[in-house]
Amino acid sequence: MTTDVLTRVEGRTGIISLNRPGAIHALTTAMCQAMTDALVAWIDDPAVEAVMIDHAEGRGFCAGGDIRMLATSGAQDGTEAREFFFIEYRLNHLLFVYPKPVVAFMDGITMGGGVGLSQPARYRIATENTRFAMPETGIGLFPDVGGGWFLSRLPGRTGQFLALTGARLDGSECHALGLATHYLPSDTLANAKAQIAEHPDRIDEILESLAVEPPPARILGNRELIDRLFASDRYEDILAALTAEDSEWSAKELATLSHKSPQTCKVALRQLKIGAHMPDFAAEMVQEYAIGARVVQMHDFIEGVRALIIEKDNAPRWNPQTPEGVTDELLDTIFAPLPADQAWTPLEIAR
């Protein structure tokens, strides 16, 4: 039992509140299991007609996963890291197929694992505090928790742009791209939650009544550049296009990409290319688990966590150092299916 997740029933709604504010609610294995247990218990509970996911306190919804644990495990035999991914991905998938409406409140920092909690939800609420990102390429990881599914389905090439650069979006940008279904002022969230708890059959009506017109979405002004310069699924082509553009914007994005792991940038591009054609979300999670099980034990992830999170010298030494050094053969190895007895499987729910 963990106090890092608070679950309760209010009115006719189950509420899951992340409660690890010192880590901006970064997810642990126990937190993922606690959320899964609550969701499973509520599936056949007639007293629960909908579910809300929020955070108890602090400045963010969820900053991601327990990266230090993953790196420590990856430097050893990887068992603990694989267990985390296995349980977390089962939670992501359960939310995706959940039979009752789920409302996720992306108020504040929503990154990595927080994206995996919010994007499967039917209702995704952004506010003026929302800071949404998938920054994994900066630490040698990849945009997992369903990133290959969600990002590949965003307008144009915005998903590829977000996956490679780790760019942060505000609430209006999330709404404009469809990552959020509604934009509410943060001071209306308590009212929204109270109304939904009592009237879960009227969620659409409640959210529409409280939603406001978001500010102009800055990313829309860069859509032409993003769609044109990030058009290729080949990383070298994107870098060449940005170089040839020779503008202030392209120079800024080139500088950003120069700090990312070439290996995981190439992983992300292939992941999204494949993810766009996955038959269902479970198939996406099978693929991402195979990637994660390998990448977590590879040099770039352990080195990225050292450089950005542990020692914080911000000078990771990637290997391979260049995109050209990341061969198709290496990517094939990372993406290869796991043996059947090691592969990810969705949760089986007795009905």
CATH assignment of the domain containing 174: 3.90.226.10
Asked if residue 324 is part of any domain, the answer here is yes
Q: Convert the pLDDT of each residue in 280-306 to its tens digit.
A: 999 999 999 999 999 999 999 999 999
Retrieve residue 274's tokens: 């494949």
Phi and psi, residue 6, nearest 5°:
-110, 125
Distance (Å, whole) CA 195 – CA 205: 10
What 8-state DSSP symbol labels residue 99?
A: S
Residue 347 contacts residue 93 (beta carbons within 8 Å): yes
Residues serving a catalytic function are 65, 113, 136, 144
Whether the model pTM is above 0.95: yes
Gap between the Cα atoms of 60 and 205, Å rounded? 26
pLDDT score at 59: 80
Structural domain contains residue 27: yes
| Domain boundaries, position 319 | 5-335
111/325 Cα distance (integer angstroms): 29
Instruction: For the chain, list residues with pLDDT below 70.
Output: 1, 350-351
Residue-level pLDDT at 348:
87
Across 134-242, where does the E strand assignment appear?
169-170, 182-183
Q: What is the DSSP string of 265-310?
A: HHHHHHHHHHHTT-SSHHHHHHHHHHHHHHHTTSHHHHHHHIIIII
Q: DSSP strand E in the chain: where?
A: 5-10, 13-18, 50-55, 60-62, 102-106, 109-111, 123-126, 131-133, 169-170, 182-183
Q: Structure tokens of 320?
A: 């391979």
Rounded Cα distance, 149 and 241, in Å: 25
Residue 348 located in a structural domain: no
Q: Is residue 351 part of a domain?
A: no
Whether residue 316 lies inside any domain: the answer is yes
- Token pair for residue 12? 């006719």
What residues contact 69, with CB distance under 8 A and at least 6 apart? Answer: 28, 80, 81, 84
Tell me phi and psi for residue 48, to 5 degrees.
Answer: -110, 115
Total count of domains within the chain: 1
Residue 327: inside a domain: yes
**Distance, CA of 289 to CA of 30 (rounded, Å):** 18
Residue listed under structure tokens 């999330």: 174
Q: What is the pLDDT of residue 57?
A: 82
Residue 342 in domain: no
Tell me if 341 is assigned to some domain: no
- Do the beta carbons of residue 31 and residue 65 sit within 8 Å? no
- What pLDDT score does 350 carry? 60
